[in-house]
Amino acid sequence: MKNPPKTNKLSASALRREREKQLRRQSILSAAEILFAHNGYRKTKIEDIAGKAEVSVGTVYGYFQNKEELLTAVLDDIGLYIRKLAGKAFGDADSVLEGIERAGMAFFEELCRPYPEKVLLLCDESIGVGDQFVNARRNFMLKMTEDVHGALMKGKDGLGLKFASGISAEVIAVCTTAIFVWLGMYYKIWRKRPGDINTIGRETVTYIVGGIKSLMVS
């Protein structure tokens, strides 16, 4: 009797509540991402995030245990997005080298250019936050390294490529990520020279591809 009949109606209401919960979580996350990137982790108050997400401070703490967890969640989100981007770029390419070029262009065109702030979070504010965040960033880098390694070893052209050493993939992942992160920071300066932006993007990718090639052995 206490159990409500499992009609469509109730199920629907439960579903809707679940959907709203996800939406609210997402809106808090988005607000945090924007504010962290714009003003920095420390300067961003929970109150600001709550305000931007149009919820109360308490609600933020209902979805995230504390400020650091919020930052970690933001980072995870960005990492997921980046890896998807790269995966798609490689999937569309016919060879490893083309994949690299496409991924490079995708990073630039679809990440650094439209959302330079997202990329900055990977670098900025890392010291002094806490171990949880540092671990999250480390995990992101490890996954990136695996992705790069995997992509380079099992090219669509059937024959994988060989590297100078067993840790070359790691070096490549780190150097390449570094460039994009730094690029995000410089985008804030460069965006004022719109005529050069395309050239900068193209040449940066050229630099990256050149760097990667130099660590390959035929």
Q: Which residues bind DNA (CB under 7 A)?
A: 13, 20-21, 24, 42-47, 55-59, 61-63, 66-68
- Closest to its own copies by CB, 42 or 162: 42
Gap between the Cα atoms of 24 and 5, Å rounded: 28
Q: Which residue's entry shows tokens 């490893």? A: 96
Would you count residue 15 as binding its own copies (CB under 8 A)?
no
Contact 45, 53 (CB under 8 A): no
- Closest to its own copies by CB, 90 or 180: 180
Would you count residue 218 as binding its own copies (CB under 8 A)?
no
- Closest to DNA by CB, 12 or 167: 12
In angstroms, what is the minimal distance from the CB of 138 to its own copies? 6
The beta-carbon contacts of 122-129 under 8 Å, at least 24 apart in sequence, are 122/75, 122/78, 122/177, 122/181, 123/181, 123/182, 123/184, 123/185, 124/40, 124/41, 125/36, 125/40, 125/41, 125/42, 125/71, 128/42, 129/41, 129/68, 129/71
In angstroms, what is the minimal distance from the CB of 127 to DNA? 13
Q: H-helix or E-strand containing 162?
A: strand 162-163
Contact 135, 187 (CB under 8 A): no
- Taking CB within 5 to 8 Å according to partner kind, which of DNA, its own copies, none is near residue 21? DNA
- Closest to its own copies by CB, 48 or 88: 48
In angstroms, what is the minimal distance from the CB of 75 to DNA? 16
In angstroms, what is the minimal distance from the CB of 195 to its own copies? 10
Gap between the Cα atoms of 100 and 90, Å rounded: 7
In angstroms, what is the minimal distance from the CB of 142 to DNA? 26
- Closest to DNA by CB, 56 or 135: 56
In a 10 Å sphere around its CB, with 0-12 CB exposed, 13-18 middle and 19+ buried, how is residue 77 labelled?
middle
Which position among 33, 101, 125, 147 is part of the footprint of its own copies (CB under 8 A)? 125
Would you count residue 164 as binding its own copies (CB under 8 A)?
yes
Residues of this chain that interact with its own copies (CB under 8 A) are 37, 39-43, 120, 123-129, 138, 141, 164-165, 167-168, 170-172, 174-175, 177-179, 181-183, 185-186, 189, 196, 199-200, 203-204, 206-215
